[in-house]
């Protein structure tokens, strides 16, 4: 049985980009007779708000997207992440890291993404509050066939270096939480936007280090862009839509009198654009 998920972060309201993603998630999964889970990705405790979570779930239901199980929330899953971390610890795959973002940036200011150079890898620092935890990555090349992009090759050790599992403030990181969740929830199909394509190799490797035999299948879809024709849209052509775009909030459209069918029709017209 195919199991997929819709995994919004409650750091803002549901926007049209979420709706397009939901159309892909439900559409591709249902077309294969699969089940869809909803997972509230509130691993970032500073930016997540209960108010956004309830609004996201309400708007999703208003649009008619129904999950096959009650939603789960990452902030309720600490014990699951602890257990996964213990497993990596038992294999001696983790180490404590005291580096700040600024320190890491200063080593490698020009790289395309923040790449951890392994500064603390050999220091045997003690795990304690105020210190992060990283997992040692293999140097391997990760190969996977994306359902839209075809064969992909990524070397996470060169893209991002040893992955942060828990940051210095005690927050579980996106990469770790999502990989543990996809494994623990039995997710076999991940349908998400192209902005996460570069994260996929590292998630596949991390899942393997955590003992997952078979990684999920992946489909990365185009991200929609802001266009001048978008209702009330103020942005120019070619800008990526983001949660910061107040004019794209579904609740604002609803408040302006849009029906759910109208929102869905609008989102459908954006599917495949990019
Ligand atoms: N929570 C992520 C987001 O809101 C999506 C994570 C994923 O699909 O892997 O962008």
pLDDT of residue 112: 75
Number of the ligand 1 atom closest to the C-alpha atom of 18: 4
Give the per-residue pLDDT at 101: 85
3-class SS at 126? coil
How far is the centre of ligand 1, averaged over its atoms, from the C-alpha of 91 (Å)?
A: 28
Q: Which H/E stretch holds residue 206?
A: helix 200-209
Amino acid 230: pLDDT: 47
Going by alpha carbons, the residue nearest to atom 6 of ligand 1 is 7
Pocket of ligand 1 (CB under 6 A): 7-9, 41, 178, 192, 196
- CA proximity to 135, closest of 216, 41, 208: 208
Ligand 1 atom closest to 195 (CA): 10
pTM of the model: 0.91
Report DSSP state, residue 32.
T
pLDDT at residue 234 in the model: 44
Q: What is the pLDDT of residue 211?
A: 97
Helix axis angle, 260-270 to 50-63, nearest 10°: 90
pLDDT tens digits in sequence order for the chain, 274 residues long:
999 999 999 999 999 999 999 999 999 999 999 999 999 999 999 999 999 999 999 999 999 999 999 999 999 999 999 999 999 999 999 999 999 888 888 887 776 788 999 999 999 999 999 999 999 999 999 999 999 999 999 999 999 999 999 999 999 999 999 999 999 999 999 999 999 999 999 999 999 999 999 999 999 999 987 654 444 444 444 555 554 444 569 999 999 999 999 999 999 999 977 6
Cα 125 to averaged position of ligand 1 atoms, centre (Å): 31
The pLDDT of residue 232 is: 44
């Amino acid at each position: 049985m195919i199991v997929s998920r819709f995994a919004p972060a409650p750091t803002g309201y549901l926007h049209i980009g979420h709706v397009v993603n939901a159309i892909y998630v439900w559409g591709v999964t249902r077309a294969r007779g699969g089940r869809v889970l909803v997972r509230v990705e509130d691993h970032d405790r500073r930016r997540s708000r209960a108010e956004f979570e309830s609004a996201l779930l309400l708007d999703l239901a208003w649009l008619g997207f129904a999950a096959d199980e009650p939603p789960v929330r990452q902030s309720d899953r600490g014990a699951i992440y602890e257990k996964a971390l213990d497993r990596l610890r038992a294999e001696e795959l983790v180490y404590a890291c005291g580096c700040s973002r600024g320190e890491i940036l200063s080593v490698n200011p020009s790289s395309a993404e923040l790449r951890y150079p392994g500064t603390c890898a050999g220091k045997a620092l003690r795990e304690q509050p105020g210190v992060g935890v990283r997992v040692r990555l293999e140097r391997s090349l990760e190969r996977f066939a994306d359902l839209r992009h075809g064969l992909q090759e990524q070397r996470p050790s060169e893209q991002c270096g040893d992955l942060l599992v828990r940051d210095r403030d005690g927050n579980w990181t996106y990469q770790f939480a999502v990989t543990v969740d996809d494994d623990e929830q039995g997710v076999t199909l991940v349908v998400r936007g192209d902005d996460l394509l570069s994260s996929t190799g590292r998630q596949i490797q991390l899942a393997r280090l955590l003992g997952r035999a078979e990684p999920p299948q992946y489909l990365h879809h185009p991200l929609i862009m802001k266009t001048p024709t978008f209702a009330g849209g103020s942005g120019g052509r070619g800008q990526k839509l983001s949660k910061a775009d107040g004019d794209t909030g579904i609740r604002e459209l609803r408040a302006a009198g849009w029906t759910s069918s109208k929102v869905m029709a609008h989102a459908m017209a954006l599917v495949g654009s990019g």
